[in-house]
Structure 1
Amino acid sequence: MLQERYSRQELFNPIGKSGQNKISDKHVLLIGAGALGTGNAEALVRAGVGTITIVDRDYVEASNLQRQQLYSEEDAKKRMPKAIAAKERLSQINSSVTIHAKIMDASFAELSSLAQDVDLMIDATDNYDTRLIINDAAQKYNVPWIYGACVGSYGMTFTIIPGETPCLQCLWDNIPMSGGQTCDTAGIISPAVNMVVSYQTAEALKILVEDWQALRGKLVMFDLWENTHTEINVKKVKKKNCPSCGEQAYFPYLSNEKLMKTAVLCGRDTVQFRPSEKKTIDLTEIESVFSSQGLVVQRNPYLLSVTFAPHRVVVFYDGRVLVHGTNNVTEAKKYYHRIFS
Structure 2
Amino acid sequence: MEESLQRYSRQILFQPIGLEGQKKLSNSKVVIVGMGALGTVIASHLVRSGVGYVRMIDRDLVELSNLQRQTLYDEEDAVKGLPKVVAAEKKLKNINLSVTIEAIISDVNLDNAEDLLTGFDVILDGTDNFQSRYLINDVAVKHNIPWVHGAAVSSRGMFSVIIPGKTPCYRCLFPTVPTGLGETCDTVGVLSPLTDIIGSFQAMEAIKLLVGAEPTKNLEQLDIWYNSSMQMDVTHGRSLECPTCGKGHFDFLDRASNKQVSYTTLCGRDTVQINPKNKQEINMKEQAERLKKIGKVTGNPYLLRFSPGNNITLVLFKDGRVLVHGTDDTVKAKSIYAKYIGL
Coarse TM-score class (shorter-chain normalised): over 0.9
Which residue number corresponds to residue 93 of structure 1? Answer: 95
Q: CA-to-partner distance for each residue in 1:153-201, whole Å, 9 max, x for gaps?
A: 1111111010111111111128999992111111111111111012111
Is it true that 1:103 corresponds to 2:105 in the alignment?
Answer: yes
SS at 1:22 equivalent? helix
SS at 1:18 equivalent? helix
Counterpart mapping for 1:1-341 below 5 A = 2-3=3-4, 4-173=6-175, 180-211=182-213, 214-246=214-246, 248-256=247-255, 257=257, 258-293=259-294, 295-309=295-309, 310-341=311-342
Residues 176 and 338 of structure 1: is their aligned pair in 2 closer, same or farther, counting only changes over 3 Å?
A: closer
User: Is the CA contact 1:32–1:125 (under 8 Å) kept in the aligned structure 2?
Assistant: yes
Residues 222 and 178 of structure 1: is their aligned pair in 2 closer, same or farther, counting only changes over 3 Å?
A: farther
Q: CA shift at 1:73, angstroms?
A: 0.8
Q: CA-to-partner distance for each residue in 1:251-302, whole Å, 9 max, x for gaps?
A: 1111112331111111111111111322222222221111133x21123121
User: Is the CA contact 1:174–1:237 (under 8 Å) kept in the aligned structure 2?
Assistant: no
Task: State the alpha-carbon separation in 1 of the partners of residues 47 and 83 from structure 2.
Answer: 19
| Structure 1 counterpart of 2:225, one-letter code | W
User: Is the CA contact 2:134–2:171 (under 8 Å) kept in the aligned structure 1?
Assistant: yes
Task: State the alpha-carbon separation in 2 of the partners of residues 232 and 221 from structure 1.
Answer: 8
Task: State the alpha-carbon separation in 2 of the partners of residues 38 and 185 from structure 1.
Answer: 21
| Structure 2 counterpart of 1:68, one-letter code | Q
Between the two proteins, the alignment pairs up a number of residues equal to: 337
- Please report the TM-score for the alignment, with normalisation by the length of structure 2: 0.94
Task: State the alpha-carbon separation in 1 of the partners of residues 286 and 170 from structure 2.
Answer: 25
Q: CA shift at 1:146, angstroms?
A: 0.5
| Structure 2 counterpart of 1:251, one-letter code | F
User: Is the CA contact 2:217–2:233 (under 8 Å) kept in the aligned structure 1?
Assistant: yes
Task: State the alpha-carbon separation in 2 of the partners of residues 176 and 18 from structure 1.
Answer: 43
| Structure 2 counterpart of 1:45, one-letter code | V
Q: CA-to-partner distance for each residue in 1:227-263, whole Å, 9 max, x for gaps?
A: 11001112333210111110x2121111112331111
User: Is the CA contact 1:115–1:143 (under 8 Å) kept in the aligned structure 2?
Assistant: no
Identity across aligned pairs (percent)? 45
Task: State the alpha-carbon separation in 2 of the partners of residues 58 and 174 from structure 1.
Answer: 28
Q: CA-to-partner distance for each residue in 1:295-319, whole Å, 9 max, x for gaps?
A: 2112312111101221110011111
Gaps of 5+ in 1: none
SS at 1:55 equivalent? strand
Task: State the alpha-carbon separation in 2 of the partners of residues 179 and 22 from structure 1.
Answer: 42
How well do the aligned residues superpose, as a CA RMSD in angstroms? 1.8
| Structure 2 counterpart of 1:69, one-letter code | T
| Structure 2 counterpart of 1:99, one-letter code | I
Task: State the alpha-carbon separation in 1 of the partners of residues 42 and 116 from structure 2.
Answer: 18
Q: CA-to-partner distance for each residue in 1:61-98, whole Å, 9 max, x for gaps?
A: 00011111111111100100001111111111000111
Task: State the alpha-carbon separation in 2 of the partners of residues 241 and 301 from structure 1.
Answer: 39
Task: State the alpha-carbon separation in 1 of the partners of residues 20 and 236 from structure 2.
Answer: 35
| Structure 1 counterpart of 2:307, one-letter code | T
SS at 1:287 equivalent? helix
Gaps of 5+ in 2: none
Residues 202 and 179 of structure 1: is their aligned pair in 2 closer, same or farther, counting only changes over 3 Å?
A: farther
User: Is the CA contact 2:161–2:217 (under 8 Å) kept in the aligned structure 1?
Assistant: yes
SS at 1:109 equivalent? coil
Task: State the alpha-carbon separation in 1 of the partners of residues 251 and 178 from structure 2.
Answer: 21
